[in-house]
A and B are shown apart, each in its own frame.
Chain A
Amino acid sequence: MIISVASGKGGTGKTLIATSLALSLKDIEKVQLLDCDVEEPNDHVFLKPEITSSRAVSLLIPKVDEDKCTYCGKCAQVCAYNAIAVLGNHVLTFAQLCHGCGACSYLCPEKAISEESRETGIVESGHIDGLSFIQGKLTVGEAMPGPVIRKVKEYADNDDSTVIIDVPPGTSCPVVEAVKGSDFCLLVTEPTPFGLNDLTLAVETVRELGIPCGVVLNRAGVGDNKVEGYCKKESLPILLTIPLDTDIARLYSRGIPLVEGLPQWRDGFLELFDKIKASIDERNRNTER
């Protein structure tokens, strides 16, 4: 089973939920936590994992053999990203713009383009007390998180484990990349107009992907009650509510997972997991029918 933890708005508590859910489950189930927020991965700050392996994430970018090149311009003509240009008797490549699609090397009539790899991030794996942990890190200055997220997700072993994915904020392609293939998506929000606006967008994105979702309401009591109203209207279940509490905020600030600092929350997370399972089972029953 794959459960992703997303939010729309940043800073609503995805990392708090993903880490505490993983820690609560790890004594009962085999759990993998995948940090797919590769631009700003934070799970490791809370879990302090022992990293046992690290692999580079690379894109294949063109390398032009000018001895073979006839400057016909085919490569520049097929590149959708303006990452290769032919100017007179020169071929210029712009590595930062290249998506690594491979069209230029394949279509070069002179076979003058080979490919070399360019590192844009890394994937690290390790563990914390029996919890399996994988995270991606986009290299600072690089623009494209997609390939790093895809590489992190290759580690997902959902036949054998419960996989929890910490998703980047927002509603665009990196979110879709991270959430795609999940059995359930938890949407973490806060009861403010910003939280509600971004929740609405996140719900649209997850529904577009056809993935069932439920809401975690964090910092309850801080703003207004419009998020509850919206959830009711949209038949979105609120699966867990965490109040605005300075103790929780202080633990968070020190990088201490909620269920470690306040172990009484563990039952709440186990209950959350049961609700998710029940929701997935019900959906499966409905599709069988």
Chain B
Amino acid sequence: MKEIVILSGKGGTGKTTIVGSFAALAKRKVLADCDVDAADLHLLLSPSERKQSEFWSGQIAHIDKDLCNECGLCQEICRFNAIKDFKVDPVSCEGCGFCSHVCPVEAITMQENMSGYWFISDTKYGPLVHARLGIAQENSGKLVAAVRQQARQIAGERNLDYVISDGPPGIGCPVISSLSGASLALLVTEPTLSGMHDLERVFGVCQHFGVPAMVCINKYDLNEENTWQIESNCLSQGVKIAGKIPFDNVVTEAIVHGVPVVEYSRNGVSQQIDALWGTVLQSLNH
């Protein structure tokens, strides 16, 4: 079983569009939406939910008002400024439990925190594992890890060949959690200076964690000079350009219709994504 994760550094470069299309093109796979704090893949795949599970992660300090003698020690030692006026701010609390250990009257307990849900759904393209992080919850990467774990398990049970993951933007915890141990990262960028800057950083994360990476330039015709620059940077770093996709409003039209673009139209964009999947597949099985 091979696991491919789609990342980008910068948001909005087209990760979900590409994963949605891969869902339609790939055979024998599980889909995983690892962008748990702004998940969108389900909007293209019309999933029907088969299993829902609460996700409990981390703890939050709770002060028992009746026991608290307002000595203030907890406020003094908390490095996250999460306790003010003998009350815990759940948003700032990192769940370290330091306060609960030092409270002289044992007024502080650590309580389990339900931070979201994960789901296993059926789609016409195969199983999808996705999640919803609770509002303003910590995205420590643990929910992402749970999504990947479920996806791998399904792939194992049903003897499927691929796990295809839609990754989050950025380079921090959830990205690291989506990436570590994957067979291949496909980095989707766009020919904008910010897209290029962010590609550099997310590529650095792939190198740091030893995951091979390929690049796809989306909307490449928006600025051909920048596209050329990306190609030459990739060449000098030995990174393969797996595909180049032109700008076309048909991509947005497909999103509005809630279907993968390769099923919505058979124009240039779709042909390029077909070819991209072919290249990725070749590289995965190389």
Contacts and interface: CB of A to CB of B under 8 A. Distances in A.
B193 A254 contact: yes
Interface string B202-245: 10110011000000000000110010000000000000000000
Interface string A136-154: 0010111111000000000
Interface stretch (B8-16, B153-161, B261-269): B8-16
Contact of B223 (A100, A175, A222, A253): A253
B278 interface: no
Given A9-B38, A223-B252, A143 B102 contact: no
Given A10-B12, A40-B169, A102-B98, A170 B37 contact: yes
Given A222-B249, A253-B223, A255-B194, A172 B201 contact: no
B87 interface: no
A192 B172 CA distance: 27
A107 B77 CA distance: 11
Interface string A183-210: 0000000001110011001001100110
B133 A172 contact: yes
A208 B38 contact: no
Contacts of B201: 39-40, 140
A236 B112 CA distance: 34
B124 interface: no
Contacts of B209: 141
A172 to B, nearest CB: 4
B141 interface: yes
Nearest to B192: A253
Contacts of A40: 9-10, 169-171, 194, 197-198, 201-202
Contacts of B252: 192, 222-223
B171 A205 contact: no
Contacts of A100: 79
Interface in B176-214: 176, 190-194, 197-198, 201-202, 204-205, 208-209
Contact of B135 (A180, A208, A254): A208
Contacts, number: 184
A222 B219 CA distance: 15
Interface residues of B, number: 62
A86 to B, nearest CB: 17
Given A176-B91, A192-B252, A140 B208 contact: yes
A201 B135 contact: yes
A103 interface: yes
Contacts of B190: 253
Contacts of A42: 10, 194, 197-198
Nearest to B258: A193
With most chain A CB atoms within 10 A of its CB, the pick from B136, B171, B191, B223 is B136
B170 A39 contact: yes
B172 A144 contact: yes
A11 B12 contact: yes
Contact of A194 (B43, B95, B176, B226): B43
B136 A173 contact: yes
Nearest to A16: B194
A222 B198 CA distance: 25
Nearest to A192: B255
Interface residues of A, number: 58
Nearest to B98: A103
A250 interface: yes
B71 interface: no
B96 A80 contact: yes
Nearest to B204: A140
A254 B38 contact: no
B39 to A, nearest CB: 8
Nearest to A40: B198
A201 B38 contact: yes
A197 B205 contact: no
B67 interface: no
B40 interface: yes
B12 A255 contact: no
A104 to B, nearest CB: 9
A174 B9 CA distance: 15
B98 A11 contact: no
A15 interface: yes
Nearest to A224: B256
B226 A253 contact: yes
Interface of B: 9-13, 16, 37-38, 40, 43, 58-59, 77, 79-80, 91, 94-98, 101-102, 110, 133, 135-139, 141, 168-176, 190-194, 197-198, 201-202, 204-205, 208-209, 222-223, 226, 249, 252-253, 255-256, 258
7 contacts: A39-B171, A45-B193, A80-B110, A103-B101, A170-B38, A176-B136, A252-B194
The 9 closest A-B pairs by CB, nearest first: A10-B11, A11-B12, A101-B96, A255-B193, A172-B139, A39-B170, A140-B204, A103-B98, A141-B208
Given A141-B209, A170-B37, A255-B192, 12 more contacts: A40-B202, A42-B197, A80-B96, A107-B101, A138-B172, A145-B170, A168-B170, A172-B37, A172-B139, A197-B43, A209-B91, A253-B223
Interface of A: 7-12, 15, 39-40, 42, 45-46, 78, 80-81, 99-103, 106-107, 138, 140-145, 168-176, 180, 192-194, 197-198, 201, 204-205, 208-209, 222-224, 249-250, 252-255
